[in-house]
Structure 1
Amino acid sequence: MKKFLFVLTVILLLLCAGRLSAGEQGHGTANITSENMKYKSASPAMMHMSHSDMVKSEKEFVREMIPHHQEAVDTSVLLFISTDDPELKMLTEAIYNAQTAEILDMRLSYARWYNLIPTGFMYQSMMRDLNIVTGRERDIRYVQDMIMHHKGALEMAEKVLTFKGIHEETVMFAKDIIKNQKMEIDFMQKWLKKVGVSH
């Protein structure tokens, strides 16, 4: 089922000429308010800022992590379409499968805990545009940026675990991020070393 959904996403993106999704529209219910946010354009400084500063509560952690994950999903699908590297195809599919499921879980939890459905996001992109490069240069850019992207997620996850009284689901989710994304960072760093590129 996950494989089918991944392939379906790839097909839809191809039909949209490979353009990355910038947001998502949702609908509130009688008891749940729709919360509107927007994406911001990429900023080089964003790749090096402290993500722990963005998280001052459990609510902010979940709200910020949804678009953070979505950017990873979108760029992973784009690279999956174009790369010829089997290791990167495996990596991008793994990121897609894991983070798509986590986005759904976060949305459901956010709605249940705060009676809000986020419909878009005020989010500063962390990753450079993959559409302006091709071939191995695109592969390398994706991996370099995804390492920084994952490190940002680690900072956010480590920060939320310092808060008292957070939901058990958030504790487990944050611990999963730390475990899984550390392994992916290690994989990506080794891949860069193998192709002769610094981090």
Structure 2
Amino acid sequence: MNAFKRALHRPIDHRIAVVGAVTAGALVLAACGGGDDMSGMDHGSSSSASQEAGTSPAKGAFNDADVTFAQSMIVHHQQALEMSQRADGRASDQEVKTLAGQIEKAQDPEIKTMQSWLKSWGKPESPSMDHGDMGHGDGDKPGMMSEQDMKDLMAAKGRDFDRKFAEMMIEHHNGAIEMAKDEQKNGRNAAAKKLAGDVVKTQSAEVKQMQGIVDRL
């Protein structure tokens, strides 16, 4: 009888062992599969990060022309902002007022963008080696207004301000366009060259608009 019971139990034990082995194997496979999935997710994140890095000027290739473009255009944009801010309380023409606001809105974020590029590239906002030349270095930045030009603009009001602003900003914009075209030709960084293209397109349109203002006033 005991032998009979053992005979009955043996297949059951065997089946339990088989089931246990299958279950353990399934768990191992699930764990491996989960590891593969997590690994895939990690690779996806790395790929995404790489793609983001690829579009970031900080991670992309750059050369001296890119650095010079950013450093010079920051100073150039800052003066354009200063000129535009002076329209408040001085300009009388509504189109001039609107245009000044548009210039501020467009160029202030671009300044911040270029500052972030230089920081991530490990470059100064303005080359320390060039500090000795800053007094006459504006000649390296086409279209920059002199200190006297800025004083004359500040002293003007109404229609006189409107005309001076438009005429000066035409010259200023043409200088920026020249710098941007140089970046398009000699730069290496994709984002910097794209910004240069945006400058050429936007400021060329504004030059035409301001020429119309000058002709009208």
TM-score range, shorter chain: 0.5 to 0.7
Structure with the larger RCO, 1 or 2 (CA within 8 Å, 6+ apart): 1
In the other structure, the counterpart of 1:100 is 108
In the other structure, the counterpart of 1:72 is 80
Structure number with bigger Rg? 2
Task: State yes or no: 1:190 paired with 2:212.
Answer: yes
Alpha-carbon offset, residue 114 of structure 1: 2.7
In the other structure, the counterpart of 2:201 is 179
Q: What amino acid is aligned across from residue 154 of structure 2 in structure 1?
A: N
Alpha-carbon offset, residue 115 of structure 1: 4.1
More helix by share: 2
Cα separation, 2, equivalents of 1:136 and 1:117: 36
> Do the aligned residues in 2 keep the contact of 1:80 with 1:93 (CA within 8 Å)?
no
Unaligned runs of 5+ in 1: 1-55
Question: Residue by residue, what CA displacement relative to the aligned partner does 1:49-97 show, whole Å, maximum 9, x if unpaired?
Answer: xxxxxxx722111111101000000110111332121111110000000
Question: Residue by residue, what CA displacement relative to the aligned partner does 1:138-196 show, whole Å, maximum 9, x if unpaired?
Answer: 111111010000000010010111125x111101100000100011001001111111x
Alpha-carbon offset, residue 119 of structure 1: 9.8
> Do the aligned residues in 2 keep the contact of 1:143 with 1:192 (CA within 8 Å)?
yes
Cα separation, 2, equivalents of 1:106 and 1:95: 16
Q: What amino acid is aligned across from residue 201 of structure 2 in structure 1?
A: K
In the other structure, the counterpart of 1:167 is 189
List, as ranges, runs of 4+ consecutive aligned residues in structure 1 with deviation greater than 6 Å. Answer: none
> Do the aligned residues in 2 keep the contact of 1:107 with 1:118 (CA within 8 Å)?
no
> Do the aligned residues in 2 keep the contact of 1:110 with 1:116 (CA within 8 Å)?
yes
Alpha-carbon offset, residue 118 of structure 1: 4.5
SS at match of 1:126: coil
Unaligned runs of 5+ in 2: 1-63, 139-143
Superposition pairs for residues 1-199 of structure 1, below 5 Å?
Answer: 57-118=65-126, 122=134, 124=138, 125-126=144-145, 128-129=149-150, 130-163=153-186, 166-195=188-217
Q: What amino acid is aligned across from residue 72 of structure 1 in structure 2?
A: A
Identity among equivalent pairs (%): 29
In the other structure, the counterpart of 2:29 is none
Q: What amino acid is aligned across from residue 158 of structure 1 in structure 2?
A: K
Cα separation, 2, equivalents of 1:117 and 1:181: 23
TM-score by length of 2: 0.59
More strand by share: 1
Cα separation, 2, equivalents of 1:83 and 1:174: 29
- Given the superposition, is the C-alpha separation of residues 60 and 113 from structure 1 closer, same or farther in structure 2, using an over 3 Å criterion? same
SS at match of 1:160: helix
Cα separation, 2, equivalents of 1:65 and 1:117: 10
